[in-house]
Structure 1
Amino acid sequence: MKILVINGSPKREKSDTMHITHAFLEGMNAAAENDVRVIHAVDQHIEYCTGCFSCMRNGGECVHRDDMRGILEEILNSDLLIWSYPLYCYGMPAPLKALLDRTLPLSSMAMHKVGDRYEHVGQRDFTHLRYVMICGCGFPNSTHNFEPAISQFKLCFPNNHTIITVPESPMFNAPEAVAVTEPRLKKIKEAGRQFAESYTISDDVMQAITSPMIPEDQYAAIVNGTIR
C-alpha cells in the first residue's frame, strides 16, 4: 500500500502526535509491507487559497506556482492518506489548513446532491483513497475538544475514513511517562495491524487508545505543576 502521511505539526518529527502515527504505521507494516512517505506541511511552500475558483473552472489549474501541484499528484497516487496533527484551537494547525484549502483543484464548480447535502463534483478520480485522521491534544479528556475537528474531517472525507483522537498526548514526549505510554503505543500498533488487515479497528482497541492514560485530575495536576 502506498501511504502518504501529512504531518500538520510545526514540530515536525518532534510532534507528540507523530509518536501515535509512527506506532500506527509500525502496526500496519507488521501486517504488510507499505510504501510510506511523510510530508511536513510547515516545510512546504503553500500559498493561501484566494478563493478565485479558477482551478474549479479550468480543469484544476491553480494560479499559484508552488509545492501544491506536486502534493496533489502525490495524494492522487496514494492509497491511504494519514492526516496527523495536534489540536490547535479545536481544529488543525494553520500550515495544514492551508494545504487542505489548496486541495480545491480536485473539485469542480458543479455540484450534486449526495444524501441530504450537496457536494462538488470531482475533477479528478480519488475514489480509491482511504483517509485516517490521527489527532492528539493536551487536555486530559476528549469531551468538547475534538468534536469540531472530527466534524470537519467527516465533511471533507465522507467516505472511507477512520478517526483516532488521543487526549494527554504530550505524555508521549515525556520519558518519565513511559510506564503508561508504552502500553498505549502497543495498543496503537495493534490498531494499525487491524486496520492493515481489514480497514477497521475493533471497538475495544479503539476505546483503549482514545481514553486517558492516567486519571484526568492527576494529569491536570501534573501539567499545572510544571507551569512556571
Structure 2
Amino acid sequence: MPGVRSDQPVILGISGSERAGGNTDLALDYAGELVRGRGATFRTVHLRDRRISPCSPCGDCNSRTLPCALPDDMPGIVEEMKRADGIIYAVPVHGFGLAHLMQIFIERAGVGFLRFDRPLANKVGGIIVTGRRYSDASVHNQLVDNLLLNRMILVGSGFPALLRNTTGKPGLNDPEGIDALERMAHRMIDMALLLRKYHADTGEPVLPLDDRNERVERSRSLS
C-alpha cells in the first residue's frame, strides 16, 4: 500500500455516522491523531460515503459458500479491514440503539463475507460510541459481541470510550470519555506492535489461526 510503512501498524477507523463533522467524526479524527502521533498509519472509512445495500431477501446466507454477490462497496471495505492491524468502530446512538448505517454494515460484513474464514481473527479492535445520554453502553456491548464473534483482540483500556454531549453542538467536551479514548488508542497501538514483533521474531501468530469455524462444524453436523 503506497505511503504505508511496513514496520508500523495500520489502524482502520470505520464511522457509522450520517453526520459529517459531528461528534462521531470528531472523536474518530482525534483517535487518528493519536495513532499517527505514534508513527502508525490511520485510515478512515465513512459508511455514509459508501454504497452499502441492506441484506436482501435471498435467504441463502446460512447455506452459501461464496461471499455475498450484492453489487455495492462492501467487498472493497472488507479488503481494507483485512489489510489493517486494528479496526475502530465509531458510531452514534440513534433511537436508543446502534445507528442504522453501522447496523447494516455489520450484518452484511458478517453473514456475507467474514463468516467463511474469520479473516479479522487476531486483529486489534476498538470501539467509540457517541451519544447524548442514553443507551451508549448497550450499543457498546453490541459491538463488543461483534468483535468477539470475529475473534478479534479487544484491549483492556479501563472504561469504554463512551463520549457524551448534551449541548446540541458537536464537540469533544467529555473529559472522562476522552481519557478512555486516549487509553484505548494507545493500547491498540501497543498490542499491534507486540503482535508484529512476535510474528517477526517467530514467523508465527501469537494466537492459533486454525481454531474450528463454527459455521463449517455446523454444516458437517447437519450433513
**Which whole-Å deviations, capped at 9, do the CAs of 1:171-200 have from their partners, x for residues lacking one?**
7735xxx8x56897577446533442357x
1:50–1:38 Cα change, 3 Å: same
Report deviation, 1:72. Answer: 1.2
Does the CA contact (< 8 Å) of 1:42 and 1:96 recur in 2?
no
How many Å separate the matches in 1 of 2:122 and 2:187? Answer: 20
One-letter amino acid matched to 2:26: H
Q: TM-score, normalised by structure 1?
A: 0.65
Report deviation, 1:46. Answer: 0.9
**1:29 equivalent in structure 2:** 36
Does the CA contact (< 8 Å) of 1:82 and 1:133 recur in 2?
yes
Give the secondary-structure state (helix, strand or coil) at the position aligned to 1:196: helix
How many Å separate the matches in 2 of 1:42 and 1:62? Answer: 20
**2:73 equivalent in structure 1:** 67
Does the CA contact (< 8 Å) of 1:45 and 1:66 recur in 2?
yes
**1:161 equivalent in structure 2:** 154
Structure of greater relative contact order (alpha carbons < 8 Å, 6+ residues apart): 1
Does the CA contact (< 8 Å) of 1:59 and 1:123 recur in 2?
no
1:184–1:133 Cα change, 3 Å: closer
**1:193 equivalent in structure 2:** 186
Is 1:45 aligned to 2:42, yes or no?
no
Is 1:146 aligned to 2:140, yes or no?
no
Number of equivalences: 176
How many Å separate the matches in 2 of 1:154 and 1:136? Answer: 15
Is 1:128 aligned to 2:122, yes or no?
yes
**Which whole-Å deviations, capped at 9, do the CAs of 1:92-112 have from their partners, x for residues lacking one?**
22122111111112355xxxx
Does the CA contact (< 8 Å) of 2:11 and 2:88 recur in 1?
yes
Report deviation, 1:78. Answer: 1.3
**1:137 equivalent in structure 2:** 131
How many Å separate the matches in 1 of 2:114 and 2:186? Answer: 33
**1:223 equivalent in structure 2:** none
Structure 2 unmatched runs, 5+: 1-8, 193-223
**2:85 equivalent in structure 1:** 79
**1:222 equivalent in structure 2:** none
Once superposed, what is the RMSD of the aligned Cα atoms?
2.9
Does the CA contact (< 8 Å) of 1:81 and 1:129 recur in 2?
yes
How many Å separate the matches in 2 of 1:165 and 1:189? Answer: 12
**1:5 equivalent in structure 2:** 13
1:100–1:94 Cα change, 3 Å: same
Give the secondary-structure state (helix, strand or coil) at the position aligned to 1:173: coil
Does the CA contact (< 8 Å) of 1:3 and 1:35 recur in 2?
yes
Structure 1 unmatched runs, 5+: 109-121, 200-228
Does the CA contact (< 8 Å) of 1:86 and 1:92 recur in 2?
yes
Give the secondary-structure state (helix, strand or coil) at the position aligned to 2:88: strand
1:8–1:184 Cα change, 3 Å: closer
How many Å separate the matches in 1 of 2:84 and 2:56? Answer: 27
1:151–1:187 Cα change, 3 Å: closer
How many Å separate the matches in 2 of 1:145 and 1:77? Answer: 32
How many Å separate the matches in 2 of 1:136 and 1:65? Answer: 31
- From 4, 15, 28, give the equivalent of 2:22: 15
How many Å separate the matches in 2 of 1:107 and 1:186? Answer: 32
Does the CA contact (< 8 Å) of 2:126 and 2:184 recur in 1?
no
One-letter amino acid matched to 1:28: V
